Chain A
């Protein structure tokens, strides 16, 4: 029996450098779509780093870039849009 798996490519992507992140929570609270949350695990510095998910609690990431502008530690290193 053939199984067809359809994967939708996330339209945008935010790259978080987990080791630079100080878990300050600002990107989490500033994101309008709730695409970021703090991980329960710790990075090497002992912080809970931010983690990105395309499908946020309030909607999909639109690559608005607010997280990039708000991050005080340059831990958000990339905000990109999928180009087909």
Chain B
């Protein structure tokens, strides 16, 4: 069949919710993957023109360079408070932030807990890679015991620094939040080691969509993405996916902690 008639029909293509700028994220970083999932959900829901992104401090600080929506930058850890201010004045807007584990669980823990406790109809995506990325690899509240970081050069000692903090579990103890979920985002090695499973991306895509739906229904939504930071973990990209699956995901097991509106069933 020489010169068959037809055309390529685009199944998955460019998104108007992405600016198209190449990212500053390290090769293989889940920040990039999450940005794609968010852009896709915003496009699907058709909400670009009433969305406000709140940039946090950390690797997500440049998020507005990649997501094509209105944006405001919050001081370190304060995104949940800034989002509260926006949403209280303008309940018609879709307001969300991407925060790192330092931003949300260390300096911003109080703001996170209180926004969640008030049930503010906002959405927070936590990228938890157990380390401070942007500042060069220091210990985070979520760093597992024994992990070597720039401020724990002999491995994190629980006796002096306490154990890692579980943000999803903390928020799940509160009455008000409507959707609290933890997803293992990286590709994960399969037993046969033949190929890597992309289940994390697909689960992540669903969780992002559900989180926005929960906000539209008036609930507080929070999704924690267990991720990697191969540069600061001092591993290769694929090694970091193994570490995330074998170590980090055991400290922070994926799960659905709260689903008041039953969006996971729908």
**A2 interface hit (Cβ, 8 Å):** no
Q: When the two chains form their complex, are residues A77 and B13 in contact, meaning their CB atoms are under 8 A apart? A: yes
Q: Of B91-99, B145-153, B160-168, B198-206, which stretch is located at the interface?
A: B198-206
Q: Shortest Cβ distance from A42 into chain B, in angstroms?
A: 13
Contact A73 to B4, CB < 8 A, known contacts A78-B14, A81-B11, A83-B9: no
Bound-state CA distance A37–B98 (Å) is: 31
Q: Which residue of B lies closest to A63 (CB)?
A: B11
Q: Which residues of the other chain, B, contact A82 by a CB distance below 8 angstroms? A: 6-9
Contact A70 to B187, CB < 8 A, known contacts A7-B2, A84-B4: yes
Contact A72 to B25, CB < 8 A, known contacts A66-B198, A84-B4: yes
Partner pick for B196 among A29, A71, A79, CB 8 A cutoff: A29
Q: When the two chains form their complex, are residues B198 and A80 in contact, meaning their CB atoms are under 8 A apart? A: no
Partner pick for B202 among A25, A69, A71, A79, CB 8 A cutoff: A69
Bound-state CA distance A14–B238 (Å) is: 23
Q: When the two chains form their complex, are residues B195 and A32 in contact, meaning their CB atoms are under 8 A apart? A: yes
Bound-state CA distance A9–B7 (Å) is: 10
**A68 interface hit (Cβ, 8 Å):** yes
Most chain B CB neighbours (cut-off 10 Å) among A4, A26, A47, A79: A26
Bound-state CA distance A66–B23 (Å) is: 20
Q: When the two chains form their complex, are residues A72 and B29 in contact, meaning their CB atoms are under 8 A apart? A: yes
Q: When the two chains form their complex, are residues A26 and B237 in contact, meaning their CB atoms are under 8 A apart? A: yes
**A51 interface hit (Cβ, 8 Å):** no
Q: Which residues of the other chain, A, contact B4 by a CB distance below 8 angstroms? A: 9, 84
- Give chain B interface residues in 128-151, CB to chain A under 8 Å: none
Most chain A CB neighbours (cut-off 10 Å) among B12, B14, B195, B202: B12
Q: Which residues of the other chain, A, contact B33 by a CB distance below 8 angstroms? A: 69-72
User: How many residues of chain B get a CB closer than 8 Å to chain A's CBs?
Assistant: 39
Partner pick for B6 among A9, A23, A32, CB 8 A cutoff: A9
Q: Which residues of the other chain, A, contact B237 by a CB distance below 8 angstroms? A: 24-26
Q: Shortest Cβ distance from A63 into chain B, in angstroms?
A: 6
Contact A72 to B6, CB < 8 A, known contacts A26-B196, A29-B195, A63-B11: no
Q: Which residue of A lies closest to B34 (CB)?
A: A72
Q: Shortest Cβ distance from A10 into chain B, in angstroms?
A: 9
Q: Which residues of the other chain, B, contact A32 by a CB distance below 8 angstroms? A: 195
**B32 interface hit (Cβ, 8 Å):** yes
Q: When the two chains form their complex, are residues A80 and B11 in contact, meaning their CB atoms are under 8 A apart? A: yes
Q: When the two chains form their complex, are residues B187 and A68 in contact, meaning their CB atoms are under 8 A apart? A: no
Bound-state CA distance A47–B237 (Å) is: 14
Bound-state CA distance A73–B196 (Å) is: 18
The 9 closest A-B pairs by CB, nearest first: A72-B32, A22-B27, A24-B28, A80-B8, A69-B201, A24-B27, A84-B6, A29-B196, A79-B12
Which A positions have Cβ atoms within 8 angstroms of B?
4-9, 13, 20, 22-26, 29-32, 34, 47, 63, 65-66, 68-74, 77-84
Which B positions have Cβ atoms within 8 angstroms of A?
1-2, 4-14, 18, 20, 22-23, 25-33, 35-37, 187, 195-198, 201-202, 205, 237-238
Contacts A72-B23, A72-B28, A72-B32 supplied; 18 other A-B pairs, CB < 8 Å: A6-B2, A20-B22, A22-B27, A22-B28, A30-B196, A31-B195, A65-B11, A68-B12, A69-B201, A70-B187, A72-B30, A72-B33, A78-B10, A79-B12, A80-B13, A81-B9, A84-B4, A84-B6
